[in-house]
Amino acid sequence: MARSTIDGCNIRLILEYDGTNYCGWQSQSDGNTIQDFVESAIYQLTQERVRVIGAGRTDAGVHARGQVINFPLKKALPINKIYLGLNSYLPADIVVKLAEEVPVEFHARFDAQKRIYQYFISLERTAVFRDFCWQLFYKLDMSLLQSMAGIIVGNHDFSSFARHETQTRGKTCRVSESTWRIQDEYLIYRIVANRFLHGMVRTIVGTMIDVARGRFDLTEFNAIFQARDRNRGGQTAPPRGLFLEEVIY
């Protein structure tokens, strides 16, 4: 896919957002999205209508601590004015953490080498953090979770863990890290890959949880993975536990 040419300066932002009340990152006709609000804030500040480029297209209800975007500006503005101005126009659940000018060639999506996601499962009931985790009270086999996490490391076809409507030419992703850990009252899954398919992390988590609670066994997980068929997979974990943590360039 050809990159569009940027006329003027190229601005990169790192965004943090609570995705609870949004229909996801990407602009769409039937609902409010993070992208819509960011582009509106840019227009209010600069009077320029721009289309921002995001490193990852988070789904409805998914959060981010390190979403990276870039967009062109025809008129140069001081970076501090962009940072302060956008934060003043954005709603409280979307925050600009960093603003900087980057080379005109920089592309938030195509230049990304790795994306890091984490999924949070609460092992105790929580009221305050209920929108930021999946609350589970099953007895889970930690050794099985770690075994499955190791199985998916490498270059693999992840069709069994992608939504049917995923529109990509290939379903192969290169996973460089996949681990589970317990931290305080949370069970946390961390996955690092060069790219992710639509719904991939949540379906991986949901299927692993199905195995760890005894619905499937490890042999069946391997069969699901190799089948390259979403119909064979397990449940999809709810979006509220998933965070886009960082994008590596």
Q: How far apart are CA 114 and CA 176, in angstroms?
A: 9
pLDDT digits (tens, 9 = 90+) for 188-229: 999 999 999 999 999 999 999 999 999 999 999 999 999 999
pLDDT digits (tens, 9 = 90+) for 57-84: 999 999 999 999 999 999 989 999 999 9
| Buried/exposed code over 166-194 (b: 16+ C-beta within 10 A; e: otherwise) | eeeeebebebeebebeeeeebbbbebbbe
Cβ burial of 93 (10 Å; 0-12, 13-18, 19+) is middle
**CATH number of 114-248, picked from 3.30.420.10, 3.30.420.40, 3.20.20.70, 3.30.70.660:** 3.30.70.660
Q: How far apart are CA 169 and CA 30, in angstroms?
A: 26
pLDDT digits (tens, 9 = 90+) for 168-195: 678 999 999 999 999 999 999 999 999 9
> Phi-psi region for residue 154, left (φ > 0), alpha (ψ -120 to 50) or beta?
left
How much is the mean pLDDT over the chain?
A: 94
Q: How far is CA 175 from CA 116, 195, 201, 247, in A?
A: 10, 8, 11, 14
pLDDT digits (tens, 9 = 90+) for 39-60: 999 999 999 999 999 999 999 9
**Catalytic hit among 30, 59, 93, 217:** 59
pLDDT the model gives residue 217: 93
Specify the residue for token string 């804030």: 41
Ranges of each domain in the chain: 9-102, 114-248
Tokens of 164: 């049917």
36 has catalytic annotation:
no
The yes-or-no answer to whether 9-102 and 114-248 have a common fold is yes
CATH code, 9-102: 3.30.70.580
